[in-house]
């Protein structure tokens, strides 16, 4: 299978490392990043990938775009680019063009699926392509697989803690840091972007919630999710601990009313949602009088890359 890597940050490089270490026989013909890329008509050798992992691609990069890699005859694009929830671009247009050109997609980026899940699925069908996206939600834990297994069931609601940055910040506030200091520490530890609002104000968790809900047939977008700013009082967070509760950023989808929200709320300390911190996430799904729970790791980048490789292998099996 001829593939291109689109995005060559931590996840993209870890994916390339996996290709080398696991001896995967796919043919990498292109690597594209925000300021250019490298393109080969034949397959890149392991030593080429190793050089790009070590030194980056810009020393050898050329001015190239999506048309160039499509024209190179790729079968699949491995996408690990930053989200663009405000306008959706250039992410949405890229997905649409790849799928309509018959190029299958393996992605960790949530933008397209959060803003136009149904449209991208339809584009994949029309273009005779596939889109694999298990790395978009709790990448180290099979959350998408769980929800796929519930398709056709009468699911009432989803509740989940889905953002590692917020988990980290809330835990540090519980331990005595101020909100400002906890956020600054998350940035220094590279657990948050210099502008952490995508995580703290619910955009990331909301996008993941939409993907899960759409997998169950809700047909929603991120625009349907009510997002709340990260405005919890430090003392309230600490007092909740004393009362046997924890403040968490919780993403909620009521499948009956079609209402969705991401907000800070107190949850009982015995709940799976309260038990997670750091890179761990948790989901509770209500089905009638029953609850199905899943708890496990999300990132970091190496886990995400592992899931993307598993999705590539799944894609190859589906095609062949």
Q: Is 169 annotated as a binding residue?
A: no
Q: Is 11 annotated as a binding residue?
A: yes
From the list 17, 172, 190, 208, the catalytic residue is 208
Q: Is 289 annotated as a binding residue?
A: no
> Which residues sit opposite 106 in a β-bridge?
78, 132
Write b or e for each residue in 142-151: b if 16 or more Cβ atoms lie within 10 A of its Cβ, otherwise e.
bbbebbeebe
CB atoms inside a 10 Å sphere around CB 191: 21
Residues 44 and 5: beta-carbon distance below 8 Å: no
Told to judge if 180 belongs to the known catalytic residues of this protein, a careful annotator would answer: no
Residues 111 and 133: beta-carbon distance below 8 Å: no
> Which residues sit opposite 6 in a β-bridge?
32, 79
Tell how strand 27-33 and strand 2-6 pair up: parallel
Tell how strand 104-107 and strand 131-132 pair up: parallel
Q: Is 167 annotated as a binding residue?
A: no
Q: Is 15 annotated as a binding residue?
A: no
| Tokens matching residue 29 | 């013909």
Q: Hey, CA dihedral for 34, 36, 41, 46, is it positive or negative?
A: negative
Nearest to 204 by CA among 227, 181, 184, 224: 227
What stretch of H or E contains 241? Answer: helix 234-242
Query: How distant, in Å, are the alpha carbons of 166, 168, 208, 243, 270 from that of 162?
Result: 9, 12, 7, 24, 18
Q: Is 168 annotated as a binding residue?
A: no
Q: Hey, CA dihedral for 56, 61, 63, 67, is it positive or negative?
A: negative
- Alpha carbon distance 23, 2 (integer Å): 15
- Alpha carbon distance 135, 298 (integer Å): 9
* Residue-by-residue DSSP string for 198-219: HHHTSHHHHHHHHHHHHHTT--
Q: Is 7 annotated as a binding residue?
A: yes
Q: Is 9 annotated as a binding residue?
A: yes
Residue stretches of the annotated binding site for L-homoserine: 193
Residue stretches of the annotated binding site: 7-12, 110, 193
Residue stretches of the annotated binding site for NADPH: 110
Positions annotated as catalytic residues are 208
Residue stretches of the annotated binding site for NADP(+): 7-12
């Amino acid at each position: 299978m001829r593939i291109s890597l689109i995005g060559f940050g931590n996840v993209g490089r870890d994916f390339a490392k996996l290709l080398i270490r696991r001896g995967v026989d796919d043919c990498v013909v292109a690597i594209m990043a925000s300021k250019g890329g490298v393109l080969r008509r034949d397959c890149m050798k392991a030593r080429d990938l190793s050089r790009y992992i070590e030194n980056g691609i810009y020393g050898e990069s050329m001015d190239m775009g999506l048309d160039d890699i499509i024209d190179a005859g790729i079968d699949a694009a491995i996408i690990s680019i930053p989200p663009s929830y405000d306008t959706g671009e250039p992410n949405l247009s890229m997905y649409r063009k790849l799928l309509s050109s018959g190029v299958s997609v393996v992605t960790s980026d949530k933008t397209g699926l959060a803003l136009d899940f149904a449209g991208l699925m339809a584009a994949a069908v029309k273009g005779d392509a596939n889109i694999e996206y298990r790395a978009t939600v709790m990448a180290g834990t099979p959350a998408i697989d769980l929800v796929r297994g519930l398709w056709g069931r009468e699911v009432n609601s989803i509740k989940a803690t889905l953002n590692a940055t917020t988990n980290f910040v809330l835990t540090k506030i519980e331990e005595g840091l101020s909100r400002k200091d906890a956020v600054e520490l998350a940035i220094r530890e590279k657990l948050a972007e210099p502008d952490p609002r995508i995580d703290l104000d619910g955009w990331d968790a909301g996008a993941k919630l939409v993907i899960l809900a759409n997998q169950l047939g809700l047909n929603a977008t991120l625009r349907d999710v009510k997002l709340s700013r990260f405005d919890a009082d430090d003392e309230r967070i600490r007092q909740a601990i004393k009362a046997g509760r924890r403040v968490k950023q919780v993403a909620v989808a009521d499948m009956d009313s079609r209402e969705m929200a991401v907000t800070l709320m107190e949850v009982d300390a015995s709940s799976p949602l309260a038990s997670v911190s750091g890179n761990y996430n948790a989901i509770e799904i209500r089905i009638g009088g029953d609850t199905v729970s899943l708890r496990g790791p999300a990132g970091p980048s190496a886990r995400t890359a592992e899931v993307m490789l598993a999705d590539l292998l799944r894609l190859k099996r589906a095609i062949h």
